[in-house]
Amino acid sequence: MPRRVDHEERRTDIAEALLRVAARRGLHAVGMRDVAAEAGVSLRLVQYYFETKEKLLLYGLRHLAGRFGERVTARIRAAGDDPGPRAMIEAMLGAALPTDEESRTFHLVYTSYAVLSVTDRALAAQPFVKEPDAAEQALVALLRQAEEGGLLRPGVDAEVEAVSLLALSAGLGSSVLVGQRAPEAAAGVLDHHLDRLFR
């Protein structure tokens, strides 16, 4: 049976199984055996490719972040070539809203991880803790660029508004996730604020 196999592909398969289980039952409730069953492999295999649960977790998180990045760039590309700053901002913020199954999973698992990182310093030390920071800097740059192009209303503070938009979309995303609000309503609120910033 054992042919030579692509380890990276295998790891990806297992990581996606992990994410599916996490989306269904919650990140706290996923065990090695669940992941193995979901991936259709034996427990031993999961152990073989990821020696420990923590490594599996971290790989899964990285994979999730990667998929989210692809999602954002896909959305930007879908906005045509050389889209304006507003379209790019809309692509970024819109990708983070839990609209379909994938973005719901992203939001849920990422929030779970963020909560865990507060009390677990091994997780907090991980590189993707600072991913929100990167998003913030990108947003500031986009707003500044729009400002220089005369696209913004006068008196807009790029830094404050970047922070606000990010916090807003995170908060709106959570309210959608728990079923308090429809995705469309959340998108509408975001749009309202972009209208407020842009001419």
Which residues would be at the binding site for a second copy (CB under 8 A)? 24-26, 28-29, 108, 111-112, 114-120, 124, 129, 132-133, 157, 160, 163-164, 166-172, 174-175, 177-181, 185, 188-189, 192-193
Q: Distance between CA atoms of 128 and 109, rounded to whole angstroms? A: 13
For 135, the enclosing helix (H) or strand (E) is helix 131-148
- Under DSSP, is residue 6 helix (H, G, I), strand (E, B) or coil? coil
- Under DSSP, is residue 198 helix (H, G, I), strand (E, B) or coil? strand
Nearer to DNA, 53 or 75 (CB): 53
Pull the structure tokens for residue 84. Answer: 């304006």
Nearer to a second copy, 88 or 135 (CB): 135
Pull the structure tokens for residue 65. Answer: 């972040």
Per partner kind, with CB cut-offs from 5 to 8 A, the member of DNA, a second copy, none near residue 83 is none
Nearer to DNA, 35 or 152 (CB): 35
Nearer to a second copy, 41 or 163 (CB): 163
Any residues with CB less than 8 A from the CB of 175 and at least 6 apart, and which?
A: 181, 186
In degrees rounded to 5, what are phi and psi of residue 152? Answer: -95, 155
Tell me which residues touch DNA (CB under 7 A): 1-5, 7, 10, 30-34, 41-45, 47-48, 51-54
Q: How far is the CB of 142 from a second copy (least distance, A)?
A: 18
- Under DSSP, is residue 96 helix (H, G, I), strand (E, B) or coil? helix
Q: How far is the CB of 30 from DNA (least distance, A)?
A: 7
